Structure 1
């Protein structure tokens, strides 16, 4: 939960893969005990330092000693003792070989699928080759460019409460992600500075940042100067962070597409159909269509448009009107009892045709045979009414045609709404069931129905308890 977050890496984004560690007094950093994805952005966590913000901080995917842990060879091992991350910035460099400590981007790379893993290895090899090709002077210049990039972008908008900041955090969270993409593998050890501490002291001497020495020989960053002339003259470059952000967006887009595809697979595909009967049989025979077939709205419109064009029935003055009276078969198909029709709008003619035809519908779920039934499919009714005195309750009816069972629906609503439910027959319709759930639960019921594949178009809701204004 957000109130339990003591420290966090800056620049976190929603859905980013992160590691969760236990907080220890004295500034020591514990080893990861859980892995998950961010439920909120880093800005939300920063806002929680200034005001009361509640809710989930991380959606946990895997924890120490869970079922997945028990499948591993090291399941009997305990969590190592916490370490002190402030001992030296060089210690952080040795951990990953490029000057970084544990960072979200490292966790992100570690969680890629096997197909993406080859690309990650290839990218790492490219970074190593790039670093090897750079001279110490080139590497130093690229790292300075990274600092200027960070000062002109992410650090420019950082609040004063961001500082003081450990040198290792400043380096891994701001400088390294801002490296130019052509120098993605630039390592401070291969520069003329040789260490993060020396680099930062040079930057402080230039007036770009402000440092303070701490006990133990380390330094902390106490301030930055985004208005420095060198920062103002800096031209933006494409950075490692830009590439990572693009990759994360692509991953998020693919995840959404997969989720949408899964949702579509479970969705009911409902098609309204009509069959010629009675007064419409003559017109269908005139069009050359089979009167025993079932037709969709698109089929009817195509047949009607072709017929009007062939018979030249378009009104000369108002082309959106059709001269129905000029064609006996069409007039007989759309006219009501004792009605004489001269002309009519196209939309109304199609509506009249459907009105005089026999209604059918087809429901299909992926992987199953389509089910066709005669009659007009009615939407599921979700209504809030007053029952048992003054208590509001939500009633759900008309769900049987959508392959939903009353008892199963009531059981799921009981758990979802944490309210009592019951099943009874609809008054006057013994073959239809009514599910009742206590309270005003329209949204919860509608969300459950959609999750079960019922399109929103086929859900009608109404609150009968609202007073008319």
Structure 2
């Protein structure tokens, strides 16, 4: 909403004392989490108001601190809804419910994008559409500072079921972000981003882990993933939960209020995890996976199957508390032996080590396994986080690749019979237009003049408008009274003048009249039976013949040459010995030429590549 500079910005005016008191009362009523004494912090003395319009011509009012930082704003003519800015949320981070997203998504939000459902890692519970929320950067084991304010597009129920039902679409309509035009109005715009918040009371309730420390206070836990069967000093992977916070696409169970996690509770949760693992992942692995060490069995199958609902039920910041050292068993070996006595698994013990001996000894027909209730697991959540991070990483890599790629645009200019149409449409006839812009111009023109056929909306009444009829007419043919919309668009563009534009990092933008042709890579037979590969048409893409020939000589380990093309004094041909279509194509792509603009033909087989 504020991705571009504000328009029609009025001079700021001090708020009268009575208006400030009314505004403070509105804030306290709109946000019940606030205490009365916090009103003066968020609606301070010396508050100023300033009217503005967004670049989308939406009217609004910003309320500024005495220092000039925007604290609140409204959007829409006569709107009374107060929306906190990021400045305000940094003063009171828990003012709004929140959703968290990976770091790689944040720049997209700042550039004006809305938050999509696949980008949500965790969120507050009980969210409803149109509710104001803050968006934070995801931090493992903590809550990041608010970086955006928006309005929910869906409910938290939709977010929880998104992965299972493959739901896409928008999660939050973003209204304002850190570093947007509204943020840049503030005098504190260069302030450092606050540190992530901890989990407050949920952390304070946890008891110190005396078993994992020596007398001198040094931590004796082994590295992550290593399991000591006697002490089970295992550092479980962090997850993305906070007290009262739901994982995205997670299954919420149990009480929403925090409770004390006892050793008996941990034992019960671990047993639930074992039963879940037996009924799911362990039932699908091949018999060759056994015998399996207790360490692998525990780390790979049991720990990931811990129930995610326990995090919310007990107000846990992560899954490290749901660990055998906090249970009544104290170590993995004791837990597994107890499970074997119940008939859930069968073990083989040798000296100080134990192993799970095979699939046949995992009793899938055990009554507790058959009666298990499927649950969302810690492993499911970690998998979602990994997928989101991988997806964002791939998008970032693709974006980096596009930066180095030559950008080719096909453009068209009003010409001949299309000039009157563009004049009638009140468009600049000296401008160059891309296909989308031409389509929008035609559609807007047709709609504004009611030229859509009443009997069949696929057709346009071209005969009812002289400027449009001239633009689509073909010499020597009668212009039909009706014409399909796609045919109208095709003819308008066909009658315009063709141009092209080439952009490349570090080079001046090239705009030239005429249709751009792809680079030609042709394999021909010369000098008897010897095949060679000829490359032409590369000059418009900023490639030099001598450099191209030298690189191909090294890449193909073949002789190369550069010769002028007969009849084309400004064009050269690069020749490389042998059938080198793949090597040449790969080199051109590496130099930034989009594959679409490379046309390869092997004339020895008469096939295009």
C-alpha change, 1:195 and 1:316, in structure 2 (3 Å) is closer
Mean Cα displacement is larger for which, 424-433 or 257-266?
Answer: 424-433
Does 2:271 align with 1:144?
yes
Q: Which residue of 2 aligns with 1:178?
A: 305
C-alpha change, 1:242 and 1:457, in structure 2 (3 Å) is same
Does 2:540 align with 1:405?
no
Q: Which residue of 2 aligns with 1:371?
A: 510
Residues 377-388 of structure 1 mapped to structure 2, 5 A cutoff: 377-388=516-527
Question: Residue 558 of structure 2 contacts residue 578 of structure 2 at CA under 8 Å; is this kept in 1?
Answer: no
Return the match for 2:603 from 456, 464, 468. 464
C-alpha change, 1:406 and 1:202, in structure 2 (3 Å) is same
Does 2:286 align with 1:159?
yes
1:458 CA displacement: 2.5
Return the match for 1:169 from 285, 296, 309. 296
C-alpha change, 1:139 and 1:464, in structure 2 (3 Å) is same
1:380 CA displacement: 1.8
1:156 CA displacement: 0.8
| Between structures 1 and 2, the one with greater helix share | 1
Q: Which residue of 2 aligns with 1:66?
A: none
Q: Which residue of 2 aligns with 1:218?
A: 353
Residues 253-332 of structure 1 mapped to structure 2, 5 A cutoff: 253-277=391-415, 289-302=427-440
* CA distance in 2: counterparts of 1:139 and 1:316, whole angstroms: 70
1:251 CA displacement: 0.8
Deviations, residues 162-208 of structure 1 (Å, cap 9, x unaligned): 11122222222222222223262222223222222222112222222
Question: Residue 321 of structure 1 contacts residue 343 of structure 1 at CA under 8 Å; is this kept in 2?
Answer: no
1:450 CA displacement: 4.0
1:382 CA displacement: 2.7
Q: Which has the higher contact order (CA 8 A, sep 6+)?
A: 1
C-alpha change, 1:200 and 1:419, in structure 2 (3 Å) is same
Deviations, residues 65-95 of structure 1 (Å, cap 9, x unaligned): xxxxxxxxxxxxxxxxxxxx9996236x34x
C-alpha change, 1:330 and 1:425, in structure 2 (3 Å) is farther
C-alpha change, 1:285 and 1:145, in structure 2 (3 Å) is closer
Residues 87-126 of structure 1 mapped to structure 2, 5 A cutoff: 89-90=229-230, 93-94=232-233, 96=234, 98=235
* CA distance in 2: counterparts of 1:222 and 1:238, whole angstroms: 28
1:449 CA displacement: 3.6
Question: Residue 277 of structure 1 contacts residue 357 of structure 1 at CA under 8 Å; is this kept in 2?
Answer: yes
Question: Residue 88 of structure 1 contacts residue 218 of structure 1 at CA under 8 Å; is this kept in 2?
Answer: no
Gaps of 5+ in 2: 1-224, 243-258, 312-318
Deviations, residues 220-279 of structure 1 (Å, cap 9, x unaligned): 211222232221112122222112111111110110121122123233333323344556
Deviations, residues 268-324 of structure 1 (Å, cap 9, x unaligned): 333323344556556656666554443444454555566667888778988766777
* CA distance in 2: counterparts of 1:298 and 1:189, whole angstroms: 62
Question: Residue 565 of structure 2 contacts residue 573 of structure 2 at CA under 8 Å; is this kept in 1?
Answer: no
1:402 CA displacement: 1.5
* CA distance in 1: counterparts of 2:353 and 2:393, whole angstroms: 42
1:212 CA displacement: 1.2
Residues 407-426 of structure 1 mapped to structure 2, 5 A cutoff: 407-413=546-552, 418-420=556-558, 422-425=560-563
Return the match for 1:190 from 309, 326, 329. 326
* CA distance in 2: counterparts of 1:319 and 1:236, whole angstroms: 51
Q: Which residue of 1 aligns with 2:74?
A: none
How well do the aligned residues superpose, as a CA RMSD in angstroms?
4.3
C-alpha change, 1:441 and 1:283, in structure 2 (3 Å) is same
TM normalised by structure 2 equals 0.49
